[in-house]
Amino acid sequence: SPVEKNDFIRQIIREDLASGKHATIHTRFPPEPNGYLHIGHAKSICLNFGIGLEFAGPCNLRFDDTNPSKEDLEYVAAIQDDIRWLGFEWSELRHASDYFEVFYRSALKLIRDGKAFVCDLDADQVRAYRGTLTEPGRNSPFRERSVEENLDLFQRMRAGEFPDGARTLRAKIDMGSGNINLRDPAIYRIRHVHHQNTGDAWPIYPMYDYAHCISDALEGITHSLCTLEFEDHRPLYDWCIDQIDLGGHPELWQPLVEAGLKTTISKPRQIEFSRLNINYTVMSKRKLMALVNEGLVAGWDDPRMPTLQGLRRRGYTPASLRLLADRVGISKQNSLIDFSILEGCVREDLDANAPRRMAVIDPLKVVIDNLEPHHEETLTFANHPKNETFGTRSVPFSRELWIEREDFMETPPKGFHRLVPGGEVRLRGVGIVKCVDVVKDGETVIEVHCTLDPESRAGMPGADRKIKGTIHWVSARHAAPAEIRLYDRLFGVADPDNDEGGRDYHECINPDSVRHVRGYLEPAAAGADAEQNLQFERLGYFVADRRDHRDGHPVFNRTVTLRDSWAK
């Protein structure tokens, strides 16, 4: 296996194993099913599932479904699909909603212990009482309600007696705390909304900070890994774990045992790491959703989207995204990764793993005058220049070919080493041709006539004759017409979230981020399976579109060019 990773989280884990604090490590990936996963989530997936594999411990997939108004089963299915596609498998599939009864019983316990109260302040009042970073908050006038009154009101909240927003259950911690998260945070709110798993059973829903730590503890999670913005929430995480003390109160989670859900109570430790940020893109689900809803992209899986579905459709491979996660590493340092790092990862993977093919995306006809009209040959090409195990394929060759229009120039600039009138170029795998005539329609070149030097063909004495340029081609008679989608970065500016010119991210879309062209493919490319990654020689890496490519109707998406054309 590759070099052992040794970031600060893995160091903590190794210490915890060495000291005997934990015998096994248990992690989880906890997405909220309110959108599609993006490449930032891939970092978290690779970390949590990666640790599971490296330390032979379980890693759960837990849907953090405590906010039903924004959640949807469509996302639940896509998230599972994405994780498996990335190459990982969860030990157990859980939902925070599996634990609703435990959250409720735990809240009753907090009330009985004098650690939670029902508050009638509305949202604006709560904000006014909360104070600021520099000013302490003030106690709610409802803070001193008796345990009996709190129990009564909370049970009536649960029974659905009060309208949305009328009351909250708040933890009773410290309105004077320097950490605003500890100023009597809400742990339950009233929401008469249908839930995808629990239906209309619950008119109250727990808040993230309260539900997350309890869920971790119930699943036996040892290390709860999350992004840096939760650092300030850790004291609340620990407060809930300590106050509720699930380990000492099995009656709180008795319902799970009865339901047959494996339950091993842990005292989880939250550890924060920095988010993945990449320039030339946006990564908040809200903004991605807006791009979809406003029709600025074709959908969640538009190949320009940073969603895993989009990247997959674009031709990014699971290995390339795992490589990115490894390259970026894990730390507490916030950083912005250059888009070219991501592109470099997919180039590296595809250079090693994508078979080579020939395709022409801006065709110009070439006629080889010294071949018979019906001349036809089958040439044998290696599928990979550096790896014989890829084998070979047959490539048909005939008198009329398509070449790339930009590989011919009538009046070339200095240093142009491709085809010019009277000049020679090597046709990849064939031999050397010389341009003897040009047919034009007005100013436009429509046909180039050449002769093929028979002495330059494979096995002939002139086969190794030095010539500056080599160009690719496709036999016109055998070519398969194809739809080719040329993608580029979705945004034309490095930081669409904070544009220097003050434009909104909507206005920063790169107008050249997609171009559909008709091209020609050699037969072996046209016959590819959907999702097959190929290198089209000299053009870039392409993938057969997972939705639209089919037999007789080839559709290819450009994943990335062969070289970084954005480098300044």
Nearer to ligand ATP, 287 or 449 (CB): 287
70 is catalytic: no
Nearer to Mg ion by Cβ, of 32 and 326: the residue is: 32
Minimal distance, residue 87 CB to ligand ATP, in Å: 17
41 has binding-site annotation: yes
Helices (H) and strands (E) in the chain, counts: 14, 27
- Under the binding rule (CB under 5 A), the answer on residue 149 touching Mg ion is no
Rounded to an integer, what distance in angstroms lies between the CA atom of residue 326 and that of residue 332? 15
Residue 32 or 152: which CB sits closer to Mg ion?
A: 32
Binding residue for ligand ATP (CB under 6 A) from 32, 238, 400, 548? 32
Stretch that binds ligand ATP, among 37-45, 389-397, 440-448, 517-525 (CB under 6 A): 37-45
Residue 283 interaction partner, one of ligand ATP, Mg ion, none, beta carbon < 5-8 Å per kind:
ligand ATP
Residue 255 CA to residue 101 CA, distance in Å, equals 7
Instruction: List the x/- string, 41-60, binding to ligand ATP by CB under 6 A.
Output: x-xx----------------
User: 13: Cβ–Cβ under 8 A, 6 or more apart, which residues?
Assistant: 25, 51, 55, 223
- In the region spanning residues 32 to 61, those forming contacts with Mg ion, defined by CB under 5 A, are 32
Q: Is 68 annotated as a binding residue?
A: no
In the bound state, the residue with its beta carbon closest to ligand ATP is 40
Q: Is the dihedral of CA 433, 437, 438, 439 positive or negative?
A: negative
- The separation between the first and the last C-alpha atoms of the chain, rounded to the nearest angstrom, is 36
Residues sharing a CB contact under 8 Å with residue 477, sequence separation 6 or more, in sequence order:
376, 396, 398, 400
Judged by DSSP in three states, 283 sits in: coil
Q: What is the 3-state secondary structure (H, E, C) of 446-493?
A: EEEEEEECHHHCCCCHHHHCCCCCEECCEECCCCEEEEEEEECCCECC
- Is residue 283 part of the contact set for ligand ATP (CB under 6 A)? yes
The least distance separating ligand ATP from the CB of residue 41, rounded to whole angstroms, comes to 5
- Under rule CB under 6 A, residue 30 binds ligand ATP: yes
Q: Is 463 annotated as a binding residue?
A: no
Least distance (Å) from Mg ion to the CB of residue 46? 18
Look up 377 and say whether it is catalytic: no
The smaller minimum CB distance to ligand ATP, of residues 169 and 221, is found at 221
- Tell whether residue 40 is a contact of ligand ATP (CB under 6 A): yes
- Catalytic annotation present for 285: yes
Run of H or E residues at 53: helix 39-54
Q: Is 557 annotated as a binding residue?
A: no
Determine the size of the site formed for Mg ion (CB under 5 A).
Answer: 1
Which residues in the 129-188 window bind ligand ATP by CB under 6 A?
Answer: none
- Minimum distance from CB of 284 to Mg ion (Å)? 7
Which residues contact residue 363 at a Cβ distance below 8 angstroms, ignoring those fewer than 6 apart? 402, 403, 404, 405, 519, 520
227 among the known binding-site residues?
yes
Q: Which of 170, 285, 357, 558 is catalytic?
A: 285
Residue among 268 and 554 whose Cβ is closer to ligand ATP: 268
Q: From the candidates 14, 32, 143, 365, give the one annotated as an active-site residue.
A: 32
Is 384 annotated as a binding-site member?
no
Collapsing DSSP to helix, strand or coil, 366 comes out as strand
Instruction: Tell whether the torsion through CA atoms of 373, 379, 384 and 386 is positive or negative.
Output: negative
Stretch (H or E) spanning 356? strand 356-357
Q: How far is CA 49 from the centre of its chain?
A: 15
The residue type of 68 is P
Q: 5 vs 465, which CB is nearer to ligand ATP?
A: 5
Smallest distance, Å, CB 287 to Mg ion? 11
User: What Rg value do the Cα atoms of the chain yield, rounded?
Assistant: 31
Query: Of 227 and 451, which has the nearer Cβ to ligand ATP?
Result: 227
CB of 173 to ligand ATP, least distance (A): 24
Determine, following the binding rule CB under 6 A, whether residue 31 of this chain makes contact with ligand ATP: yes
Residue 497 annotated as lining a ligand binding site: no
Report the 10 Å Cβ neighbour count for 266: 19
Window of 214-222, 254-262, 283-291, 545-553 that interacts with ligand ATP by CB under 6 A:
283-291
- Say if residue 40 carries a ligand binding annotation: yes
Closest approach of Cβ 30 to ligand ATP, in Å? 5
Contacting range for Mg ion; rule: CB under 5 A; set: 30-38, 126-134, 326-334, 454-462? 30-38
**Binding residues among 220-279 for ligand ATP as defined by CB under 6 A:** 226-227, 275-276
The partner in contact with residue 276, picked from Mg ion, ligand ATP, none with C-beta cut-offs of 5 to 8 angstroms by kind, is ligand ATP
Count of beta carbons in the 10 Å neighbourhood of residue 413? 6
In 3-state terms the chain splits into helix, strand, coil percentages (rounded to 5) of 35, 25, 40
Query: Nearer to Mg ion by C-beta: 186 or 521?
Result: 186
**Min CB(48)–ligand ATP separation in Å:** 8
Contact 242, 346 (CB under 8 A): no
Strand ordering across the sheet containing 363-368 = 470-471, 424-427, 431-441, 444-452, 363-368, 400-404, 474-475
Distant-in-sequence, close-in-space partners of 143: CB < 8 Å, separation ≥ 6: 117, 119, 172, 184
| DSSP state for residue 122 in the 8-state scheme | -
Would you call 364 helix, strand, or coil by DSSP? strand
Separation CA 518–CA 201 (nearest Å): 55
User: What is the closest distance, in whole angstroms, from the C-beta atom of residue 285 to Mg ion in the complex?
Assistant: 6
Query: Which listed residue (284, 331, 334, 565) binds ligand ATP by CB under 6 A?
Result: 284
Token pair, residue 24, equals 């096994």
Active site residue: 70, 143, 275, 405, which one? 275
Closest by Cα among 65, 83, 33 to 308: 83
Query: Which residue ranges make up the site for ligand ATP (CB under 6 A)?
Result: 30-32, 40-41, 43-44, 226-227, 275-276, 283-285
Which residues of this chain interact with Mg ion, rule CB under 5 A? Answer: 32
Q: Point out the annotated binding site for ATP.
A: 32-34, 38-44, 227, 275-276, 283-285
Per the annotation, binding residues are 32-34, 38-44, 64, 208, 227, 275-276, 283-285
Q: Give the annotated binding-site residues for L-glutamine.
A: 64, 208
Active-site annotation, residues:
32, 275, 285
